[in-house]
Structure 1
Amino acid sequence: MSLLLRRTNSPTTNHHHPPTTTTITFTTATQVEVIQSILNCLKSGHIQKAASILFDFPLPFPHSLYAHFFRHCRSPKSIAAAHKVEFHLVATTRNPPIFLRNRALEAYAKCSSLHDAQELFDEMPQRDGGSWNALITAYSRLRYPDEAISLFLWMNKDGVRANNITFASVLGSCADVYELSLSQQVHGLVVKFGFSSNVIIGSALVDVYAKCGIMVYARRMFHEIPRPNAVTWNVIVRRYLDVGDAKEAVLLFTRMFSDGVKPLNFTFSNALVACSSMHALEEGMQIHGGVVKWGLHEDTVVSSSLINMYVKCGELENGFRVFHQLGSKDLVCWTCIVSGYAMSGKTWDARKLFDQMPVRNVISWNAMLAGYTRFFKWSEALDFVCLMLDTVKDLDHVTLGLMINVSAGLLDHEMGKQLHGFVYRHGFHSNLMVGNAILDMYGKCGNLNSARVWFNLMSNWRDRVSWNALLASCGLHHSSEQTLTMFSEMQWEAKPSKYTFGTLLAACANTYSLHLGKQIHGFIIRHEFQIDSVIRTALIYMYCKCYCLEYAVEILKGAVSRDVIMWNTLILGCCHNHRGRDALELFGIMEAEGIKPDRVTFEGILLACVEEGLVEFGTQCFESMSNEYGVLPWLEHYGCMIELYSRHGYMDELESFMKTMTIEPTLPMLERALDACQKNDSPILGKWIAKKIHEFEH
């Protein structure tokens, strides 16, 4: 048949321009062929070609074809095709049905074009519940919660009844903005319209109550769902993890199995994260068994969580085994294992893995740099920073914070100032983490004036970490009076933390200000702050440094549980007060309480032996470190032994010790031993040491 039709050569989103006129002859057989050709293109993923074929045929097609076409428009790349299909529908059909316009609206939303979706919605001569649902869902899915909520209120005002999809979407938007009051009103409508047993809406209610911090309501809603599905379980596990109740998250995860629900890969991941946060290795290993059983060991989301769990629980080898057994390793898994080695102090191994990474992003670089800074390897960190600046284009606030930490560690004020300028030029100056790093850098580099100026500039966004950094700077540079004055000012703006008191007490210890230290101790007691292990250790340190050992002992006695750090602080404090015998007595009590000594403990014991002249006992302690306690000697332990033999004239033992050391002695060690040789008339050993010193200097 011959038809006179209008057709445009290039459609746009503005459908008000009349298409050019042309005469085309088609047959019914031709239309069937065109439909089949369009369907073939859609099936093979050639959506633009399908749209062009459709647009070149200016006759109306069956509604099912338009609906099918719109369903294939589901990414931003498909937006042009969606425009063509909608234009063809409007151009060839006088009054397109509402359901097809709704499909077009959904297509625009899936293509992430809310502008087109809203414009179509506004131009629709008639709308139904599906139209409202499509637009509300679009705004909710694309994270525009305020707009989604406003549309829902408008819809409700117009008397249009919501369905289960609408309720789920608006509850999701309420969760995004923590809108508890409206969520409860929507909950009332859910009950009124008979959707209480709907698992999708039930899951959304669990989520919104949990995000609003009402876990009691969330748990109640969870138990009211007749048959929670895997998504529902994932929501409740995740929300318990978010509020810091990792134990309950793991318990709920294990209940899924008894209820016959197969966890999602994200649920496995969340449960493993919960195990990581509470260092629950046994539970994590059980979950690992479930991962293998359900065949998820190749899933990169689950595998990265497994690696992280083993690393956090101190099982680095098991984490590497999981990584090594992965057939396909993505960027997240690579970054997890690099971070694990770096943050465990094995930076050499971490760097080796980092260099093997096929692809890196800024997070990978940050993970490696964080390992260097955590263990104060400043020269390696600086080299890495230089390499990073030559390689990575887009630095983030974490990178800048770490770089500023490097300049602080190196006490490189000039580098810190340059980084501060970079921060300003690139708009990172209002980032709190970066701002606090700058403050800490100025303080450690001794530029208290710049630290105070920057602190004042941070007045609109600083927090108690900022205050702690400034307090630490003053304490570090022996300005204890100013430290206490600032502490008084701090209380108008931020609540002190245990780290605040630790900083204040360290400032008093560094300046031997016993009177001020007692004032802070009294403040802690008067204001009923909990004296935990951090504050108790800081108090012991302050009293020891201020030569008030009896108070330090009383503080230790008052502890319900005493950890190794607390004992070490008091043992070293005894040495500082020239009370070596008391330090050794404390060591005996510590062992009796079942506290395992570490390298710091043995440093204190060896210093006590030096103080009291207990050469034989000191030798026994040094030998027992690795033989009985599994503690490898560090540089400071070798230094203590050289001091022990040198001070008390045990020259034969000194010679034997120095010639069998497993590490090279430092220049101060050699100089101390040479001084002993001169005082105790040991020319042979002195000659050997002098030669070592010559080699050291040249």
Structure 2
Amino acid sequence: MGVNAASLLSHLLRSTHKSTSLPTDAKTLTKTILSHLNTGRLGKAVSILFAFPESFDFSLYAHLFKICASNRAIVEVRKLESHLFTFNPYPPVFLLNRAIEAYGKCGCLDDARELFDEMPHKDGGSWNSLIIAYSQNGFPEKALNLFLNMNNGGIIANEITFASVLGSCGDVLALCFSRQIHGLVLKYGFCGNVILGSSLVDIYGKCRIMSDARRMFDEIENPNAVSWNVIVRRYFDMGDGKTAVFMFFEMIKTNLRPLSFTVSNALIACTSIYALKEGVQIHGVAIKINVEEDEIVSSSLIDLYAKCGELVSAHIIFDLPSSKNLINWTSMVSAYAMSGRTREARELFNEMPERNVITWNAMLTGYKHSCQWEEALDFVFLMRKVTRDVDHVTLGLILNLSAALLDVELGKQVHGFAYRHGFHSNLLVGNALLDMYGKCGTLRSARYLFYDLIGSRDKVSWNSLLTSYAHHQMSEEAILLVWKILGETTPSKYTFGTLLAACANIFALEAGKQIHGFMIRNGYEIDIVVRGALLDMYSKCRCLEYALKVFKEATARDLILWNSILLGCCHNKKGEKVLELFELMEKEGVVKPDHITFKGILLACICEGRVELARHYFNLMSQQYCIIPRLEHYESMIELYSRYGFMDELKDFVKKMPFELTAPMLTRVFDACREYRCSRLGKWAADRLNELNPTVPFRFEIMDKT
């Protein structure tokens, strides 16, 4: 309400009170008003003041504005302002500042701004009150613009104003503006203020300039608990959990009592780096300062122990009297479910006094994580009966279930539900739909949906479509999309992994080389998965030299990478290279071979005619590496003996096999016996083949070598 309205309000109030008998004077009424305030009857106190046709002492107005602000009592604030202006056409500036503060606390920024604009005289407190009002009500841009106007008007800000402005800078990540404010703080001699120092640490941290944040923190002479909380939190937000935990322990060395928020942040940082030992130590600190049962601390402890696999410890915290809230119930359900202990998770879930959509999602995620698809489907049906709480995460999980079960009809029902309830524009749901249609083989629907996502689709969308193409032998179509992907988004290394697999499927060497070169030029990480895809592509495209180079450049090699290069050499008929690489593998001793490794070795022996060496490696499988030979290993040995005419060894080998020979094995023995004139074994093989398939009789005859 403006100053110009004062005379009108005065007239209305005076005319109203002409017929009202007032029992007492202002001094006595003040005591009555204060008595009502002491008993918590703010509305009654303001009503008494509003009904009295004279002004009160300014200190009473100031006191009432302050109480109204803390109680967010907007009606009473407006009554106070009306009464103040009615009987004091030109009230003091400090009272108007209190009124602006009260409007700000009540969220009535238009009233605050109107009063500010109509003030004939303003001081620094007036500007500060409105800046704080904008800052605290989520209008940081207006707060910053107002500060600029204040500064241009030559009004010097105080520490409180600077703190509010820096908070607004943090909300909009205005780094350049923050540096200018920092300069003003230094200029006006406020550099020793711990609140401003902490605010600067916060803004630099939020803007991801941790070097400046740390330097600013180190300049604070006596950082308080808030300062330490800020630096710990900002390191964690930057993904540097190790330094966040280190800073927490540095704080403990100062004998300063940490805030419960700081303890929680440090525990979350431990969780992010799976630092269980440090987390247990922080737990001890929490017990010592009596914040273990604080809601945010107990939740962080449960999360830490659960994610580090210490479910017993997590349950002990959960059993504390103050810990049985919805968040912790959900955390425990999720912990058991994600650990594969879905039975215990479901028991906890069934005991919950209340649930929300996050709880349902946690249980469903557990079933998905354990690939318990039938149980997940039953749980979805229960969920639809019991609750209507569904969000985009729920729909995404049900679509994952549809994809796993190849149940396109369920997926279509979810698609319809999403469209009817406004979830179809959610990218997570869109990508899950795309994945579901692709895995279910409904590529036409997948393509339509993909192009319907234009404008919002991301690298996950592209990966889903490419994977669908590759899975359904549409590698050429996948490769043709490469340049479209680059024009729309920044592909991930997994995108390129899928494309390299497509190149391998159709022997597209040039396309594979271009993808490899693009990744190198643009600084992509060639991790062990991508390296395996490159190795496979070069091997299948008959470019073994490049495959070997990719293999040798690997700083770490797992079993999959070793097997890929061994089979790649076999594919390129380089048996000696396989045997050489296997010797290197044994010499390094880091990776132990498996059945696939020995399949490659036996194929190499076949390629090179190394019968005795093959027999040595076949026996080595079980004797040294405890690997039971599989069907393919027996097939390789039969092929080896048969191809090179080791008929006595072949006869001995097939007689000692722990299972009956398959038709292809018998056929290979039969053909070898005909070629090498081994009648007795040949007739035995023919008899076995005739037993397996009497409709096509085999008759052994010696081949005429002329």
* TM-score scaled by length of structure 1: 0.77
Tell me the SS of whatever aligns to 1:86: helix
User: Which is worse superposed, 438-447 or 187-196?
Assistant: 438-447
User: Which is worse superposed, 567-576 or 402-411?
Assistant: 567-576
Q: Distance in 1 between matches of 2:338 and 2:416?
A: 29
Q: Distance in 1 between matches of 2:560 and 2:29?
A: 84
Aligned to 2:202: 207
Q: Specify every segment of 5 or more residues in structure 2 that has no aligned partner in the other structure, as ranges.
A: 1-7, 604-613, 636-653, 661-687, 690-706
Q: Which amino acid aligns with 1:433?
A: L
Correspondence 1:336 to 2:334: no
Deviations 1:250-306 (A, max 9, x none): 222221122333222212222222222222222222222222222221112122122
Correspondence 1:268 to 2:263: yes
User: Which is worse superposed, 423-432 or 585-594?
Assistant: 585-594
8 Å CA contact 2:270, 2:278 repeated in 1 = yes
Q: Would the alpha carbon gap of residues 544 and 271 (structure 1) be closer, same or farther in structure 2, given more than 3 Å must change?
A: farther
Correspondence 1:487 to 2:485: no
Deviations 1:448-494 (A, max 9, x none): 23323332333322222222222112111111111111112212232
Q: Which amino acid aligns with 2:150?
A: M
Q: Distance in 2 between matches of 1:231 and 1:179?
A: 22
Q: Which amino acid aligns with 2:22?
A: T
Alignment of 1:174-573 (within 5 A): 174-325=169-320, 327-393=322-388, 395-508=390-503, 520-521=515-516, 524=519, 529-539=524-534, 555-563=550-558, 566=561
Q: Which amino acid aligns with 1:247?
A: K
Q: Which amino acid aligns with 2:65?
A: F
User: Which is worse superposed, 187-196 or 279-288?
Assistant: 279-288
Q: Distance in 1 between matches of 2:355 and 2:254?
A: 41
Q: Distance in 2 between matches of 1:602 and 1:281?
A: 34
Q: Distance in 1 between matches of 2:516 and 2:528?
A: 14
Q: Distance in 2 between matches of 1:585 and 1:280?
A: 42
Aligned to 1:31: 29
8 Å CA contact 2:34, 2:45 repeated in 1 = no
Q: Specify every segment of 5 or more residues in structure 1 that has no aligned partner in the other structure, as ranges.
A: 1-13, 626-636, 653-678, 681-698
Q: Would the alpha carbon gap of residues 144 and 460 (structure 1) be closer, same or farther in structure 2, given more than 3 Å must change?
A: same
Q: Distance in 2 between matches of 1:447 and 1:16?
A: 77
Aligned to 2:38: 40
Q: Would the alpha carbon gap of residues 526 and 179 (structure 1) be closer, same or farther in structure 2, given more than 3 Å must change?
A: closer
8 Å CA contact 2:173, 2:203 repeated in 1 = yes
Deviations 1:657-690 (A, max 9, x none): xxxxxxxxxxxxxxxxxxxxxx89xxxxxxxxxx
Q: Would the alpha carbon gap of residues 566 and 280 (structure 1) be closer, same or farther in structure 2, given more than 3 Å must change?
A: farther
User: Which is worse superposed, 96-105 or 186-195?
Assistant: 96-105
User: Which is worse superposed, 293-302 or 396-405?
Assistant: 396-405
Tell me the SS of whatever aligns to 2:266: helix
Tell me the SS of whatever aligns to 2:293: coil
The structural deviation recorded for 1:606 is: 10
Alignment of 1:25-104 (within 5 A): 25-28=22-25, 30-31=28-29, 33-42=31-40, 46-74=41-69, 78-104=73-99
8 Å CA contact 1:547, 1:577 repeated in 2 = yes
User: Which is worse superposed, 342-351 or 478-487?
Assistant: 342-351
Q: Distance in 1 between matches of 2:548 and 2:305?
A: 38
Q: Distance in 2 between matches of 1:392 and 1:86?
A: 49
Instruction: Indicate the percent of aligned positions where both proteins have the same amino acid.
Output: 54
Q: Distance in 2 between matches of 1:346 and 1:546?
A: 45
Q: Would the alpha carbon gap of residues 533 and 49 (structure 1) be closer, same or farther in structure 2, given more than 3 Å must change?
A: farther
Q: Distance in 1 between matches of 2:87 and 2:630?
A: 91
Q: Would the alpha carbon gap of residues 337 and 650 (structure 1) be closer, same or farther in structure 2, given more than 3 Å must change?
A: same
The structural deviation recorded for 1:133 is: 0.9
The structural deviation recorded for 1:148 is: 1.0
Q: Distance in 2 between matches of 1:269 and 1:468?
A: 37
The structural deviation recorded for 1:140 is: 1.0
Deviations 1:148-205 (A, max 9, x none): 1111112222222211111111111112112122112222221221111111111111
User: Which is worse superposed, 76-85 or 455-464?
Assistant: 76-85
Q: Which amino acid aligns with 1:167?
A: F
User: Which is worse superposed, 177-186 or 450-459?
Assistant: 450-459
Q: Distance in 1 between matches of 2:209 and 2:279?
A: 28
Q: Which amino acid aligns with 1:25?
A: L
RMSD, aligned CA: 4.4
8 Å CA contact 1:603, 1:640 repeated in 2 = no
Aligned to 1:18: 12
Q: Distance in 2 between matches of 1:359 and 1:575?
A: 60
8 Å CA contact 1:272, 1:287 repeated in 2 = yes
8 Å CA contact 1:536, 1:556 repeated in 2 = yes
Q: Would the alpha carbon gap of residues 82 and 592 (structure 1) be closer, same or farther in structure 2, given more than 3 Å must change?
A: farther
Aligned length: 627
Q: Which amino acid aligns with 1:309?
A: L
Q: Distance in 2 between matches of 1:118 and 1:639?
A: 84
Deviations 1:589-628 (A, max 9, x none): 879867687xxx8785899999999999888899999xxx
8 Å CA contact 2:595, 2:630 repeated in 1 = no
Q: Distance in 1 between matches of 2:241 and 2:457?
A: 30
The structural deviation recorded for 1:124 is: 3.2
Q: Distance in 2 between matches of 1:509 and 1:537?
A: 12
Q: Would the alpha carbon gap of residues 245 and 581 (structure 1) be closer, same or farther in structure 2, given more than 3 Å must change?
A: same
8 Å CA contact 1:514, 1:546 repeated in 2 = yes
Pick from 128, 131, 137 the counterpart of residue 132 of structure 2: 137
Aligned to 1:629: none
Alignment of 1:114-129 (within 5 A): 114-129=109-124
Q: Distance in 1 between matches of 2:326 and 2:370?
A: 24
8 Å CA contact 1:536, 1:555 repeated in 2 = yes
8 Å CA contact 2:33, 2:46 repeated in 1 = no
Q: Distance in 1 between matches of 2:556 and 2:275?
A: 21
Structure of higher CA gyration radius: 2
Q: Would the alpha carbon gap of residues 190 and 345 (structure 1) be closer, same or farther in structure 2, given more than 3 Å must change?
A: same
8 Å CA contact 1:164, 1:201 repeated in 2 = yes
Q: Would the alpha carbon gap of residues 528 and 228 (structure 1) be closer, same or farther in structure 2, given more than 3 Å must change?
A: closer
Q: Distance in 2 between matches of 1:67 and 1:622?
A: 86
Tell me the SS of whatever aligns to 1:159: coil
Q: Which amino acid aligns with 1:286?
A: Q
The structural deviation recorded for 1:136 is: 0.9
8 Å CA contact 1:513, 1:546 repeated in 2 = yes
Q: Which amino acid aligns with 2:200?
A: L
Q: Distance in 2 between matches of 1:545 and 1:458?
A: 35
Q: Which amino acid aligns with 2:468?
A: S
Q: Would the alpha carbon gap of residues 564 and 143 (structure 1) be closer, same or farther in structure 2, given more than 3 Å must change?
A: farther
Q: Distance in 2 between matches of 1:569 and 1:17?
A: 94
Tell me the SS of whatever aligns to 2:401: helix
Q: Distance in 2 between matches of 1:588 and 1:499?
A: 32
8 Å CA contact 2:566, 2:601 repeated in 1 = no
* TM-score scaled by length of structure 2: 0.76
Tell me the SS of whatever aligns to 1:345: coil
8 Å CA contact 1:297, 1:303 repeated in 2 = yes
